[in-house]
Amino acid sequence: MPGVVPPLRFAKMHGAGNDFVMLDLRGGREAPDAALRRRLADRYFGVGCDQLIAITDPKRPEALAGYLIWNADGSVAGQCGNGARCVAAWLVRDGAARSQQFELDSPAGPIRVEALAEGGFRLGMGRPRFDAAAIPLALPGTGPTWQLEGPGGMVTFSAVSMGNPHAVIEVDSIVSAPVAQLGPWLQAQACFPQGVNVGFAQVLARDAVALRVHERGAGETLACGSGACAAVVALARLGRIDRRGVRVRLPGGELVIDWPDDAAEVMMAGPAEFVFEGEFIA
């Protein structure tokens, strides 16, 4: 019938508790507008998720597929490590991925994927970038840390781009860390013109970190893959932790991060799970 919008098929997935609404936009299907994205992400009146992810046709012939990311508030995101693993799992279940290794085109660039024998996926997340223009960060100096006068005193943080901007604050305890206070405050600072994901990291051992992340456009999430990469990179640069086999414990699960040296790309391994599938009546 004219004017009738067909139901929008989706899959609900999560990676270590970071949850997503997955859409198949291959074949040139139209992307949902910002209003529909917000409706889908709403946990009371929609499906509910931290981010929406659209699987798209690849940009490069060597890539299996591409993907787009939107935050729960409808805004565009540049990278999502947990989401990339869910894209990989979705493609395996769909039958499009017929080998253990393949590439994806993310908004931030190519992603190398390896399906693990024990389940889950290992991703090549690219090389971290520390130059202020790439993050972007509008503060003088070259790091590795910066300081701002915050609501409760001086706030010291590292900054890095993992295809999206991250600030990492080392804390004595993630239980008592002022995530709800400092996360939104730092995200609102003019020195981060594109906003920033704020990670609160507690060093547990040379190979273990506890982490909570307040994500731009989504709030605190149960896990953040690119945030886990950023935390390991930031702490490794400061000599606080090792570079290989670092277990990052997030509220929703655990990821394993490797960053062998400053010139290497960051590798991330973790789970990807299906929750349910359905149709959304717009």
For the annotated binding site, the residues are 18, 51, 71, 81-82, 164, 197, 215-216, 225-226
The answer to whether residue 86 is catalytic is: no
80, 86, 191, 229: which is the annotated catalytic residue? 80
The answer to whether residue 224 is catalytic is: yes
49, 86, 191, 224: which is the annotated catalytic residue? 224
Known binding residues for substrate are 18, 51, 71, 81-82, 164, 197, 215-216, 225-226
Asked whether 223 and 250 are in contact (CB, 8 A), the reply is: yes
Catalytic residues: 80, 224
